[in-house]
Amino acid sequence: MILGGLFDLENKKKRIEELEEFIKGENFWQDIDSATKINQECAFLKKEIELFLKTKKNIVDNLELIHILEENECEDIEEEIENLEKQIEEIEVNCLLNGENDKLNCYLEIHPGAGGTESCDWASMLSRMYIRFCENNNYNYEIIESSKGEEAGLKSFTMYIKGTYSYGYLKCESGVHRLVRISPFDSNARRHTSFASVMVTPEYDKNISIEIKESDLKIDVYHSSGAGGQSVNTSNSAVRITHLPSKIVVTCQNERSQMQNKEQAMKILKNKLYELELQTLENKMNDLKGTIENINFGSQIRSYVLEPYKMVKDNRSGYETSNVTKVLDGEILSIMESVLKARGKK
């Protein structure tokens, strides 16, 4: 079978055996986070193997029927072939989720581009799209920080997404997203183009070793209900940390105390600095701020057009759909899979 070498069945079975040995250990549940990740990986691998074996059996069982189809039309056989094609596509995508960090949870940030209220509103629309994506696909999520724009929308947004291969899928969303529509904020009903940047960072192991000097940090605290002030004497204070050497800014406001917000912000900062270090070593991209600093024409990875026609097009994979409403309602898995396949062909 052509699927055998690509799928690497034997190594997946060996990995399941290793994970099951961990699970049997008497101290397995002492570290809840580690135990949860191991259980998720084991369940995902078992699901992959089950799908692979089921698809392989269906292909073998239906080879003769496919030959019959060449001579006699049969709706049942055509339907079975369509189901097999979908199963093979799912296996193909699973094989493409083989990056070192694909299994990790992730942080997703949204930053509006130039354009004031228009871009802030677009950032808000994107935040809703990703929230609905998580809900549609059983990913747990937590909003880490959400700051409202001056008139409407969001001027910044960060969410934590937890689930099997959440980074593997959502890494496809990193880049500039472009919206074309009739502006609801324009009294003359003119067409406007807005941009927003999405940045996805994997949640690396909590024990990653990154040295951060206190002197390299600028820490601001303010009331979580809105921006302002260097210090607010409340139990519910937001924290903004700026890492001066890299210019990376991290904000957290969802926790109940200033200390908890600071711990969460430092955790995200460590992930960002580790990612930056890896990217520098591997020479994969300039730096983490490159996307945000160029949120304008010609830099977009995907366009969402509402006027004068309706279309969503991903510039990397060529994926197109006229059902913009469904996409903005979180049905973006097909787009992500198209990007994974396009990258797999390179």
Model pLDDT for residues 1-16, shown as the tens digit of each residue: 334 445 677 888 888 8
pLDDT at 206 over 70: no
One-letter identity of residue 194:
S
End-to-end CA distance of the chain: 23
Residues 6+ apart with CB under 8 A from 116: 149, 150, 151
Residues 6+ apart with CB under 8 A from 1: 56, 59
Pick the CATH number of 214-282 from 3.40.1160.10, 3.30.160.20, 3.30.470.20, 1.10.150.80: 3.30.160.20
Spatial CA neighbour of 180 closest among 330, 338, 315, 302: 302
List pLDDT tens digits, range 15-67: 888 888 888 888 888 888 778 878 878 887 887 788 777 777 766 666 666 66
Instruction: Report the interhelical angle of 32-71 vs 75-96 (nearest 10°).
Output: 150
Please report the pLDDT score of residue 5 as a whole number.
42
* Neighbouring C-beta atoms of residue 309, cutoff 10 Å: 9
Paired with 248 in beta bridges are: 243
What the block records as the tokens of 152 is 């409407």
**Contact at 8 Å (CB) between 203 and 106?**
yes
Tally the C-alpha atoms within 13 A of residue 230's C-alpha that lie toward its C-beta: 2
CA 148 to chain CA centroid, nearest Å: 22
**Contact at 8 Å (CB) between 87 and 51?**
yes
Tally the C-alpha atoms within 13 A of residue 307's C-alpha that lie toward its C-beta: 11
Residue found by looking up tokens 């009903």 in the block:
189
pLDDT (mean) for 80-108: 77
Do domains 3-96 and 106-202+294-344 share one topology? The answer is no
One-letter identity of residue 120:
C
What the block records as the tokens of 290 is 């490159």
Most confident of 184-188, 234-238, 286-290: 184-188
Paired with 141 in beta bridges are: 161
Helix, strand counts (H, E) of the chain? 9, 11
What single-letter DSSP state applies at residue 70? Answer: H
What the block records as the tokens of 13 is 């079975």
Q: What is the largest CA-CA distance in the chain?
A: 80
* Neighbouring C-beta atoms of residue 35, cutoff 10 Å: 16
pLDDT at 254 over 60: yes
pLDDT at 171 over 70: yes
Residues 6+ apart with CB under 8 A from 119: 112, 113, 153, 194, 195, 196, 295
Cα–Cα distances in angstroms (integers) from residue 341 to residues 27, 131, 159, 336, in the given order: 40, 24, 26, 9
Asked, as a colleague might, if the bond just before 202 is cis with ω within 30 of 0, I would say no
What single-letter DSSP state applies at residue 328? Answer: H
Pick the CATH number of 3-96 from 3.90.1640.30, 1.20.58.410, 1.10.10.10, 3.40.50.300: 1.20.58.410
pLDDT at 119 over 90: yes
d(CA 332, CA 156): 22
Domain locations in the chain?
3-96, 106-202+294-344, 214-282
The pTM of this model reads 0.70
Domain 106-202+294-344 fold: Alpha-Beta Plaits (3.30.70)
Cα–Cα distances in angstroms (integers) from residue 97 to residues 127, 141, 270, 306, 338, in the given order: 24, 21, 24, 32, 13
* Neighbouring C-beta atoms of residue 114, cutoff 10 Å: 10
Please report the pLDDT score of residue 287 as a whole number.
39
Which H or E element spans position 25?
none
Confidence of residue 76 (pLDDT cuts 50, 70, 90): low
d(CA 129, CA 11): 36
